[in-house]
Structure 1
């Protein structure tokens, strides 16, 4: 991971700065990997939108406390900056979260992580097109390999009538990639903490129509399910997205997104240890191809 960051470090950046960026990216990867397992564990107690609302509400409160402690509550934003924050909040924080929650009702945590991990390829292509980060032969080859892996996963899932989960996870990957692209531009106008804090607030407001349903489900949900949702809000969302924003502001979007290819491996391991879930043979073979494609696409 440090090597990936080194290749994109800004002029004059010290090794200490590189270490901080690598640590932030690594923390985000570990927390996001755990989120797939937590969502799978909580998903039977809370439906997709109410779970997203609780998760983002907890994250918004947590980040408000952090912002207040850092005396960063008063943030002056231009109209453009606020619109950018609102856009990625709706697409990534709200849309992606709901789509992933729904997808994991049909497929296991490891398979979901493998499918969502196509997002780095989408980011790399979009960054090359819209942010001037360029294209390469390896990106094209890697994209084709990864798409082949996705087709294998989809074939196995469809055979088991889980195609809805595959489509939802692919939708989550697209929303994730769109969110990263918009957030990259947003971070030119506002610091990472303010961006993710305000983004969580906006996403929570967008999901407020599901408050009555959330209230009803919380009355019958187990303590473990509620604690799982709180964990999702504090760690993968508040801390994980803040760490990601810190790293994203300091290196290019395409190369940073490449480090997330470690997420599925960690998710599969955690899913196996905590939920006794292992992806199908189709999922494992297709997942290996997806990860291979991502690795090929990021070769210099």
Structure 2
């Protein structure tokens, strides 16, 4: 992965890490699925009138919309409305990196390199350390639901990888799949009265949550993410999200006073190491150093004479 694309991936990580605070803000006032509907309506309109539909790719766009958008966020918002804290939500959702790799092997026959497997294992170990220090008191059903969200995201990643569609087009048109089904589900689960009351009383928390999650997390974050998935193997891109919990836990600490535990700090360090191994950052540095030594010893023309000799 190029240095530019590494920085793009890291920018997405920051946007998505802060995203959990805004989701938590919104689900305090509105039914979770209705909040997801509001988010994706902002993503879709008015952009859908200016972005051409990817012809011949309807099935792929539908799959991405169902799994990466509707499935992931519907389940995530429900989990957080059930009492899952923002920091822990950001941690557990990153199990998608494992799910993505497994689904990519099954569907695309994309066998990860040994370095990728080692990096993911280190990252998963970091997640396990963090989870061990954070699950007490959290409803078990919330944990199960958010793991379902992670699986849905992993399937969506693989669907996006084989879509052959530009990041902007895929983000906008896959978002059109979300509003109607989730609005109907919200009516069924929450009831018409609760939905009507929420729509008649939008709070500032709901407005802020919708604005940030739609513009920063979806329009900016997912356009960049889907673009990266179109350039690189799914197993090479997905592990970057192992850094999202670091941002999520840190932002929850700063904003909500949720001080990280020793387990979170230790797990975060393992996450950083896992991403470094997976993306080959450490390997590139060693290679660059070897190349630098070779150039000094042999000279820029390979003549065996050091430069300046």
Tell me the TM-score normalised to structure 1 length.
0.79
Q: Please give the alpha-carbon distance, in whole angstroms, between the structure 2 residues aligned to 1:226 and 1:109.
A: 18
Residue of structure 1 in register with 2:290 after alignment:
none
Q: Please give the alpha-carbon distance, in whole angstroms, between the structure 1 residues aligned to 2:131 and 2:239.
A: 22
Matched, 1:228 2:209: yes
Structure 1 stretches of 4+ with a deviation exceeding 6 A read none
Answer whether contact 1:51 1:214 (CA < 8 A) is retained: no
Q: Please give the alpha-carbon distance, in whole angstroms, between the structure 1 residues aligned to 2:260 and 2:94.
A: 15
Q: Show structure 1 runs of 5+ residues with no match.
A: 7-17
Q: Show structure 2 runs of 5+ residues with no match.
A: 284-309
Alpha-carbon distance, 1:96 to partner: 0.7
Matched, 1:242 2:220: no
Answer whether contact 2:118 2:277 (CA < 8 A) is retained: yes
Residue of structure 1 in register with 2:13 after alignment:
29
Matched, 1:56 2:31: no
How big is the alpha-carbon RMSD for the aligned residues of Structure 1 and Structure 2?
A: 2.7
Alignment of 1:136-285 (within 5 A): 136-142=113-119, 144-151=121-128, 153-186=130-163, 188=164, 190-209=165-184, 210=186, 212=192, 213-280=194-261, 283-285=264-266
Which SS does the other structure have where 1:36 is aligned? helix
Alpha-carbon distance, 1:39 to partner: 0.7
Residue of structure 1 in register with 2:29 after alignment:
45
Describe the shift of the 1:152–1:61 C-alpha distance in structure 2 as closer, same or farther (beyond 3 A): same
Describe the shift of the 1:98–1:278 C-alpha distance in structure 2 as closer, same or farther (beyond 3 A): farther
Alpha-carbon distance, 1:51 to partner: 0.9
Residue of structure 1 in register with 2:297 after alignment:
none
Alignment of 1:84-163 (within 5 A): 84-105=60-81, 106-142=83-119, 144-151=121-128, 153-163=130-140
Answer whether contact 2:116 2:236 (CA < 8 A) is retained: no
Deviations 1:3-29 (A, max 9, x none): xx13xxxxxxxxxxx63x345423322
Describe the shift of the 1:26–1:297 C-alpha distance in structure 2 as closer, same or farther (beyond 3 A): closer
Deviations 1:72-95 (A, max 9, x none): 33x3522xx211211121112011
Q: Please give the alpha-carbon distance, in whole angstroms, between the structure 2 residues aligned to 1:139 and 1:24.
A: 19
Q: Please give the alpha-carbon distance, in whole angstroms, between the structure 1 residues aligned to 2:235 and 2:124.
A: 18
Which SS does the other structure have where 2:258 is aligned? coil
Alpha-carbon distance, 1:34 to partner: 1.6
Describe the shift of the 1:140–1:262 C-alpha distance in structure 2 as closer, same or farther (beyond 3 A): closer
Q: Please give the alpha-carbon distance, in whole angstroms, between the structure 2 residues aligned to 1:272 and 1:42.
A: 19
